[in-house]
Amino acid sequence: MELTVTVNGRAHRGDVEPRLLLVQFLRDELGLTGTKIGCDTSSCGACTVLLDGESVKSCTLLAVQADGHDLTTIEGLAAGGVMTPVQAAFHEDHGLQCGFCTAGMVIAATSLVAEGLAGDEDAVRRGLEGNLCRCTGYHNIVRAVLDAAGTS
């Protein structure tokens, strides 16, 4: 099937198999391997990307469902090498540990902050419940999101 998407500001057009998952398209076709596959069953959030600004799990969408839409992956956040407020807060607060969950956490946090849904610790924990950290590093992650939102 024909697919036209904008990814990190660049338009892409191509033919894809109807069964191709969005996460596979991003990683295998576009080489954007910052988006990870953790569980492949919609549980862990490692594959989270922004679809028209909203966080979605790219292992639960077919690539063709993104046709005509705008995607942002972790590679597309820092414009000109300057970290976004969320990325800077993760850096400052040591909110990142492994490279596996971090991209999905940062993307999910970006959407939470942009939507004004990071008002307090409970809201952030609720907002990030679809993103799992296997080493329980949640404390600093939550602090980073609150700092980025200016609600700490």
Is 38 an interacting residue with respect to ligand FES (CB under 6 A)? yes
By CB under 6 A, tell whether 149 contacts ligand FES.
no
Q: How far is the CB of 13 from ligand FES (least distance, A)?
A: 25
Name the residue nearer to ligand FES (CB basis): 11 or 60.
Answer: 60
Can residue 85 be called a binding residue for ligand FES (CB under 6 A)? Answer: no
39 counts as binding ligand FES under rule CB under 6 A: yes
74 lies in the site for ligand FES, by CB under 6 A: no
CA-closest candidate to residue 66, choices 2, 131, 130 = 2
> How far, CA to CA in Å, does 129 sit from each of 18, 28, 43, 134, 147?
30, 27, 10, 13, 18
Tokens (6 digits) for 139: 């404390």
Residues 148, 110: Cα–Cα separation, whole Å: 9
Measured between alpha carbons, how far is 33 from 49 in angstroms, rounded to an integer?
12
Q: Is residue 46 close enough to count as binding ligand FES by CB under 6 A?
A: yes
Looking at 47-124, which runs of residues are DSSP E strands? 48-51, 54-57, 70-72
Site for ligand FES in 95-114 (CB under 6 A): 97-98, 100-102
Of 1-9, 31-39, 61-69, 71-79, which part binds ligand FES (CB under 6 A)? 31-39
What are the residues binding ligand FES (CB under 6 A)? 37-40, 42-47, 57, 59, 97-98, 100-102, 133-135, 137
